[in-house]
Amino acid sequence: MDIKGPNLVKGIHLEGLRVLGKPADFARYYYEQGADELMFMDVVASLYERNSLHDIISETAKSIFIPITVGGGLRSIADIKAVLRAGADKVCLNTAAINNPQLIKEATRMFGSSTIVVAIEATKESNGNYLAYTDNGREYTGIDVFEWAQKLDEMNVGELVITSVDREGTGEGFDIDLIAKITSLVSMPVIAHGGAGKREHVSSLFTKTNVDAVALGSLLHYQFIKTNESIKSDLEGNTEFLKQKRNFHTFEPSSLLDLKSHLEDSEVACRIIRTYEEESYYS
């Protein structure tokens, strides 16, 4: 879930952000549909908007009992402490990790490996090489994605999120070559992100690679918007997209329940919530 100020937003190739709704509505819905983890990425991460991110985390952590990972603009131990204190279980670093690898070492030592997730924004160059970018795919670093992934592995990072910037938000499918190569090189869990446009993209990712998990945005968000009319109230920002109620032709949006049933049919083991009777456990 990409967050800008108080809103959940979505772009294409991590750019061109549109407002989709309130993060709390999406978080609750995905939790009830059987999401295994929620990931909030502060895509603008300006200092003065940081408080609204902390509010979103605290509110979510009060009633949503699955792991919560928070990333975007975390540059220091103090930043990491602040989001963990707000109720996050893990943090996701990217720009700061590349600019200051020492931060990863310090953070894994202080908070434990399992608390530190690193994201790599990978872009395929015309010569076929993959390079790591920062700041939502904008900043060139010249760092080779695979070498960087192996370094992170040696630094005992807990988990790795690999984002294909070329595919992100397009619905064209995952970059299978990229994901397969990364999983063959590292021994930490790898989470694939970027490109899912239909259920089959997700199932084929799991059958063709050894990836451990998948992070989904648009595929689920667009289905949520289709099925939940009320979310448009009092939103600010670029909401034209919402009003038009259109999908990109490349997407066949899916609910999380349908997606997980499809995965089960494809013999990919996953946790499925079959009924909502668990609701009664709330007192």
Partner 1 sequence: MKKKVIIVDYNLGNLFSVKQACDSVGIAATISSDKAEIEDADALILPGVGAFIEAMHNLEQLDLVDAIKNSVAKGKPFFGICLGLQLIFSRSEEFGSGEGLNLIEGVIKKFPATYEDRKIKVPQIAWNTIRSGDQSWETSPLFDMDQDEFMYFVHSYYVEPASESCVLTRTDYEGLDYCSGILQDNIFAVQFHPEKSAQKGISIYKNWATTNNLI
DSSP bridge partners of 124? 130
Of 47, 62, 230, 234, the residue at the interface with partner 1 (CB under 8 A) is 62
- Two tokens at 26? 């999406």
**d(C-alpha 201, C-alpha 211), whole Å:** 13
**d(C-alpha 215, C-alpha 7), whole Å:** 19
x/- map, 112-151, partner 1, by CB under 8 A: xxx-------------------------------------
x/- map, 182-221, partner 1, by CB under 8 A: -----xxx----------------------x---------
According to the binding rule CB under 8 A, does residue 281 interact with partner 1?
yes
**d(C-alpha 241, C-alpha 217), whole Å:** 16
Identify whether 159 is a catalytic site residue: no
According to the binding rule CB under 8 A, does residue 154 interact with partner 1?
no
User: Is the separation of the CB atoms in 91 and 70 below 8 Å?
Assistant: yes
Q: Which span sits near partner 1 by CB under 8 A: 62-70, 165-173, 194-202, 252-260? A: 62-70
Least distance in Å: CB of 177 to partner 1? 22
Closer to partner 1 by CB, 31 or 241: give it. Answer: 31
Provide long-range contacts, Cβ within 8 A and 24+ apart, for 27-30: 27/1, 27/60, 27/64, 28/63, 28/64, 29/224, 29/228, 30/220, 30/224, 30/256
Of 79, 159, 168, 175, the residue at the interface with partner 1 (CB under 8 A) is 159
Burial track 144-161 (b if 16+ CB lie within 10 A, e otherwise): ebbebbebbbebebbbbb
Identify whether 121 is a catalytic site residue: yes
Of 6, 28, 34, 151, the residue at the interface with partner 1 (CB under 8 A) is 34
Enzyme catalytic residues: 2, 121
